Amino acid sequence: MAGGLYRDKQRTNFYNNYTLRPSNPFAQYGIDFTDYNQIAWTIQNPLGSVASALNYDATEKTASGYLQFRTVDQPLEVTGGVRIEHTDQRYAMKFPIGEDNPTGSQIYTDVLPSLHFRYRPNEQTNWRLSYFRSLNRPGFFEIVPYRIVNEEYQERGNPSLKRAIADNVDLRYEFFPRPMEQFMVGLFYKHIQDPIEYTLQKDAIRGQDLYYGPGNFGNATNLGLEVDAIKYFRQWGVKGNYTYTNSSITTPKSKRIRNAQGDLETITVNQTRALYGQSAHVANLSLLYKDTEHGWDGQLAASYTGGRINTVSQFVDNDLYQKGFIQMDASAEKRLGHGFLLFAKANNLLNTPTEIFINNASSKNSDVPNQDLSGKTLIRRDFYQRSYVLGIRYKL
C-alpha cells in the first residue's frame, strides 16, 4: 500500500484588552459601597488595546507520504512500512511591541518507520510485538512569543520549542474468551527526544524574574506495564485497567549553597526525576450494564491518577506536584425507538479537588492556613463541584 496526505492548518488569533477603572478612585468600603457590584466603573480605553503578542497569524503545513506492506500468512502476520512527514510551521505577530522574534518558522522532515508482528495461535489469542517512531509537534500557542502577566508570575511562549520524537516498543498478549470480553497484558518502552515540559524558568537578563512556559530539557524514558480486562455476567459487566509507568529524565537544576567564603552561591546540578505530567500509577474500574434487547446501556466509572509533577521548578527538589486523586462519573442511555435516544451523565460525583504541593515543608510556613498535608507545602486546592447533563439525541 502507498498513500499521501497534505494538510494546511491556519489560525488567526485576535485578543482585545480593556482597562476598567473605578469612577470614584477614593471610594471607601463600608461608606460608599458594601459590595463590589455597587462600584461604578469607567472604561479607560473604549476602543480596547490590541498591542499584544496574542494577536497573530499562524500556519502549519504538513506533507506526508507512506509505504506499507503486510503479510497475511497464518499464524504469523507482519505489517511494516515507513512514513515521511515534512512540516512547515510559521507565525507572524500583528502588533509587535519589541519582542525578539515577531515572526518565526520551523521547517523539518521526519522519517517514521514501523514494524508490527501478530502471532495468532488460535481464534481467541493474539501475541503482538511492535516498534514505531512518532512525533509530537508544538502547538501554535506554544511557539508564539506571547507574555501574559499572572498574579504569581509571567507566562510566556517559546519560539525555540522543538518537536518531541519518540521511539516506541510494545509487547502485548490478548485473549478474547467471548464476544465483548477480553484480557490483555502488555509491556512498553518509550525513548523520547526533547519532550515538551512546562516549567518555571528564570529570565535570562533579569534572573530574579520567574516565568512559566514550555521547553525542551533533555531526553526521557518510559518503561511500564499495562493490564486491561472486561468480564460480563449476563447484562452486568466489569471493566478494569491498570498502567504502571517508570518515567525518568535528567535535567539541570539550580541549588543554593554556602561557598568557602561563607557567601550564598547558586550552582547547577543534574537531577533525575519523573517526566512532567507522568503518573506512575493510573487505574480505572467500571461497572457496566448492557441490555441490548430493551435498549439500556449504563456505566459507573471510577478512575485513579497517581501523583505527578504539575510544574517543573528551576530549583532542585522543589518541583510542584499534583496529589493523586480518584474521580467518579456515571452515564446511562435508553433507546426510545424511531431514532431517539435519552441520555444522562453525571461527572465528578466525589467533588474531587485538584491539590498542588511542594514535596517538602518549612517552619517558616507554620502560620500559613490550610497546611494540612503532612511533610508537604500546599500551594493551591481547587474544587470544581459536580456537573449533570440530561438530553435527547436523534439519529437520522
Give DSSP secondary structure letters for 25-80.
TT--BTTTBSSGGG--EEES-TT-B--STT-EEEEEEEEEEEEEEEE--SSEEEEE
The x, y and z cell numbers of residue 10, run together, are 491556519
| 32 plus 71 within the same structural domain | no
pTM exceeds 0.85: no
Residue 89, pLDDT > 80, answer yes
pLDDT of residue 303: 97
Provide the mean pLDDT of the chain: 91
60's CB contacts (< 8 A; 6+ apart) are: 7, 8, 9, 87, 88, 89, 90, 137, 140
Of 90-104, 128-142, 280-294, least confident by mean pLDDT is 90-104
DSSP H/E element including 382: strand 377-382
Per-residue pLDDT, 150: 66
User: Are 46 and 93 in a shared domain?
Assistant: no
Question: Do 374 and 352 belong together in one domain?
Answer: yes
Q: Which CATH number goes with the domain that contains 187?
A: 2.40.170.20
The whole-number pLDDT of residue 31 equals: 87
Per the listing, cell 525513548 goes with: 191
206 with 241, same domain: the answer is: yes
Band (pLDDT 50/70/90 cuts) for residue 208 is low
**Whether residue 180 has pLDDT greater than 90:** no
> In this predicted structure, what is the pLDDT of residue 62?
97
Whether 259 has a pLDDT exceeding 90, the answer reads no
Whether residue 177 has pLDDT greater than 80: yes
Q: What is the largest CA-CA distance in the chain?
A: 86
* 39 and 135 fall within a common domain: no
Name which of 321, 326, 309, 325 is nearest 377 in CA terms.
321
Query: Which of 255, 317, 322 shows the shortest CA–CA distance to 282?
Result: 322
What is the model's pLDDT at position 348?
96
CB 323, CB 307: distance < 8 Å: yes
The pairing of beta strand 125-136 with beta strand 164-175: antiparallel
Q: Which residue from 189, 211, 16, 194 is spatially nearest to 110, judged by alpha carbons?
A: 194
- Give the DSSP H/E element, type plus range, for residue 302: strand 296-305
Percent of the chain scored above 90 by pLDDT? 63
Residue 207 pLDDT greater than 70, yes or no = no
Shared-domain flag, residues 24 and 128 = no
Integer Cα distance of 111 and 64 in angstroms: 10
| 46 and 30, same domain (yes or no) | yes
- 35 exposed, middle or buried (CB, 10 Å; 0-12, 13-18, 19+)? exposed
Residues 239 and 147 in one domain: yes
For residue 38, what are the contacts with CB-CB under 8 A and spacing of at least 6?
none
Cβ 277 vs Cβ 309: under 8 Å = yes
Look up the domain containing 230 and give its range: 2-16+57-394
Do 126 and 45 reside in the same domain of the chain? Answer: no
For residue 151, name the pLDDT band (cuts at 50, 70, 90). low
| One domain, residues 159 and 252 | yes
Same domain, 218 and 250: yes
Average of per-residue pLDDT across 335-364: 92
Measured between alpha carbons, how far is 393 from 138 in angstroms, rounded to an integer? 36
Q: Is the pLDDT of residue 252 over 80?
A: yes
Residues 43 and 122 in one domain: no
Alpha-carbon gap, residue 48 to 189, rounded angstroms: 51
Provide the number of structural domains found in the chain: 2
229-250 residue pLDDT tens: 999 998 999 999 999 999 999 9
